[in-house]
Structure 1
Amino acid sequence: MTVKEVTDIIEDLAPLPYAESFDNVGLLVGSANVEVSGVLVTLDTLENVVDEAIELNCNLIVSFHPIIFGGLKKLTGKSYVERVVIKAIKNDIAIYSMHTALDNVPQGVNAKICEVLGIKNPQILVPQKETIKKLTTYVPVKDAETLREALFNAGAGNIGNYSNCSFSTKGTGSYKAEENANPTIGEIGKTHFEEEAQLNVSFSKIHQARVMKALFTSHPYEEVAYEVITLENTNQNIGMGMIGDLPKPVNDISFLRDVKQKMGAEGIRHSQLLGEKVQKVAVLGGSGAFAIEAAKASGADILVTADIKYHDFYKAEGKMIIADIGHYESEQFTKNLLVDYLTKKIPNFAIRLSESKTNPIKYL
């Protein structure tokens, strides 16, 4: 099995187009065509993780966080990033990261937090914008059904829990084939009128390449008339954070103690306790200050996240509790999620969970 075959499986879970625009995801070091001897899954790729991969004979590191985030202009070993990349290259070890692509899918980072905390019926907290596209094309009526089926098979026409969704209207199209054309219908030099169907389908942006290939392959015309636009419609299945309910309301301090124990937090920084029961819980792994307003608007009793700055705690405004459990602590179970997923998809293959310590924050 090659590196690409393994990463294709990961991208079935966390498609890279869902990663945030600031992120750096995908294969960061190594060749996609190399045969994989073993996979080491980690939250961060540090030198000790590369050493662990060497010891375990794993030549592919699957790392949630990307080791290369900004541009690298030199490889001299002066920084920990450069040293990691140099060591990986020297030992023929590939490094792959999916980061915010896994944050944004409903089976990803935040679903795992909900599982650990016992949160039921979780929904996306902050839907990602511009994930839905719409295709409009014009096709002879007699060919419309064939084209429609090809687009459906390519992933178009899925809306929530419904598939094969489309809309079409009939009208008359016209065109004149010029000298170098090779018209499927009509004659060169003569304006032709054809009864056509205007066909409309929406699709997720991750399927755009497949949908466009199906359009050009299945459409009968030499030149295909089409439009693709990005919709502002909300995709309820893609986005950051999740919000759901505890099985029953609990005292706020009791819930925080439960979070501390289950998430292995050394301490929790939090806003003013409200002395009320907690039941609706919002979670967001990693830096989650940007989700405070969404959590309040969704009626959350508490937002469990990380990297909250001093002034951000004021934004609770007595309407909910903001709890900062630590960046590493909020994402630590992500590597377990990935190991479980890969083990199911590639049974009898060497998938290892890294035991290296990568949390840079220590507590006195």
Structure 2
Amino acid sequence: MHVSHLSLADFRSYARVEVPLDPGVTAFVGPNGQGKTNLVEAVGYLASLGSHRVSSDAPLVRMGADRAVIRASVVQGERQQLIELELNPGKANRARINRSSQVRPRDVLGIVRTVLFAPEDLALVKGDPGERRRFLDELVTARSPRMAGVRSDYDRVLKQRNTLLKTAAMARRHGGARPGDAAALSTLDVWDQHLARAGAELLVQRLDLITTLQPLTDKAYEQLAPGGGPVALEYRSSVGEALAPVQAGPAHSREELFELLLAALGAARKQEIERGVTLVGPHRDDLHLKLGQLPAKGYASHGESWSYALALRLASYDLLRAEGNEPVLVLDDVFAELDSRRRERLAELVAPGEQVLVTAAVEDDVPGVLVGARYTVAEGAVERVDA
């Protein structure tokens, strides 16, 4: 699978740009701040309906414009599809496939799949649990696009449940419940059921992912840092001792996870009402990364942390490729962050990819093994450089 043409209108710094793309390696080279990352960010948005740089769509729309449009031609074997996404901050986004009538944006998920390497990846090892949860959930959705709906349902239920808990907490702090508060709290049992059902689906997918990802990550780390492992992925859950920690493995069925979540929500009810927030569920969990016998966070060196983050991305790529529909590899200004050994090793590992998109500030940052098309990016212009 590869993207054969990318078209942007009012996306980030571009009023309009058309970029033909070939299979193999394509490098976008130019000074920082000229729009290189904006191009690969748009490709990533097609795959995940989100940006690796910002949490909302508003910054993606060019200043002064009301909306942005990402359009891409995607080739998979003999089949070609046209994807169009219209970003409307504050309103519903729109999508079309093959110029058909409007579809839901999440219906485009799975047509393009990407694995992104970026300087921000260091946060997978050194950052907060939210970074690792996002990594898991984006990969879960790449494997099974229907999980976008499950994640949306979970977030909706969580928001509603937190609103009820916050109302109860405020009433308690101000000396008692107001009329209607008791009735509102009585609905918590219903929301618990919904949260546990969606949460169990998300949990079973995360655990299955970790089971599959574990040996691939260990292999990738050994390729990047020979003799430096082993690495281990452990799931730390908020539901209590039954899942904290969980070694990756198919130890729990969907129904068992539902019952565990439901019981944990019941046990935490009093504390949740006091604090006004949901304390149990996948939104509170973490992926615990170990290097040898020690946690990587706090113990791994800077180089080891980089190798671990890169290994997680390489493992993701190997997993998606093994399951069909090889993803586009995106390396966004990542080589400048690496020492020469890791730079060359990573380049050798990704070079055979069906499509590899690279951004770099200077040509020397692109390893020699990554031979392919070159574009210069400067002052809003994207121009191909003949070999």
Task: Tell me whether the two structures share a fold, i.e. TM-score over 0.5.
Answer: no
* Relative contact order higher in (CA < 8 Å, ≥ 6 apart): 2
Select the structure of larger CA radius of gyration: 1
Higher strand proportion (structure 1 or 2)? 1
Higher helix proportion (structure 1 or 2)? 2
